[in-house]
A and B are shown apart, each in its own frame.
Chain A
Amino acid sequence: DTEVTQTPKHLVMGMTNKKSLKCEQHMGHRAMYWYKQKAKKPPELMFVYSYEKLSINESVPSRFSPECPNSSLLNLHLHALQPEDSALYLCASSQDSSYRAGELFFGEGSRLTVL
């Protein structure tokens, strides 16, 4: 299995809702990433987990809460989001966060709409 799988593919939520995005990979990768991509813009890094520990938080608002339950899973918990948070959220993995760290495997993304 050489894929990163993200669920759900689409999510619509209100500003008071709590929801989660999920990401899974079974390639034995030890680094996992969350990126945010707005329409016609490049991906922007949000978080990096390395060996299940949070190693980078790019000053993301606390309404986004990442979690890495094990080396294969990555979650992004969403609470009290704003309409401007509507975007495509991409999960990615790499072998680890140093060796071949630039070689990312991306999921198809979860398209989030905040009403």
Chain B
Amino acid sequence: AQRVTQPEKLLSVFKGAPVELKCNYSYSGSPELFWYVQYSRQRLQLLLRHISRESIKGFTADLNKGETSFHLKKPFAQEEDSAMYYCALRRGGSEKLVFGKGTKLTVNP
């Protein structure tokens, strides 16, 4: 069975500092990985997909199959990045998206 682990429940950084939210997964096949974000009082929304290799709001994430990781990074955090971040995995061909437990990021002024 697939599993997603986000080891940090809470992460606090200062504005302008680099930030990395960790995500590790366990799945023997070829997974699809995603990052979802939920800002205060807003709906859960997709931030990044590993297959698109894009940068959204300055965030990037690279799938490392060797380390089974999909860490989310941003070189200079902004206060508006404060939110709950969920890493999610989809097994190829499956309709099911499995979420990690989430990391609450706080960016302090």
Contact = CB atoms under 8 A, between A and B. Distances in A.
Contacts of A109: 43
A42 interface: yes
The A interface, classified by DSSP as helix, strand, loop or mixed, is loop
* Chain A, interface residues (CB within 8 Å), range: 20 to 34
A108 B101 CA distance: 19
Contact of B45 (A45, A48, A98, A106): A106
Interface in A46-94: 48, 50, 55-56, 90
B44 A106 contact: yes
The B interface, classified by DSSP as helix, strand, loop or mixed, is strand
B88 interface: yes
B90 A101 contact: yes
Contact of B44 (A43, A45, A98, A103): A43
B95 A98 contact: yes
26 contacts: A41-B101, A42-B86, A42-B99, A42-B100, A42-B101, A42-B102, A43-B44, A43-B99, A45-B96, A48-B95, A48-B96, A55-B95, A56-B95, A56-B96, A98-B93, A98-B95, A101-B94, A101-B95, A102-B49, A103-B34, A103-B46, A104-B36, A104-B97, A105-B45, A106-B44, A108-B43
The 10 closest A-B pairs by CB, nearest first: A42-B99, A102-B90, A97-B95, A106-B44, A48-B95, A108-B43, A106-B43, A102-B32, A102-B34, A102-B97
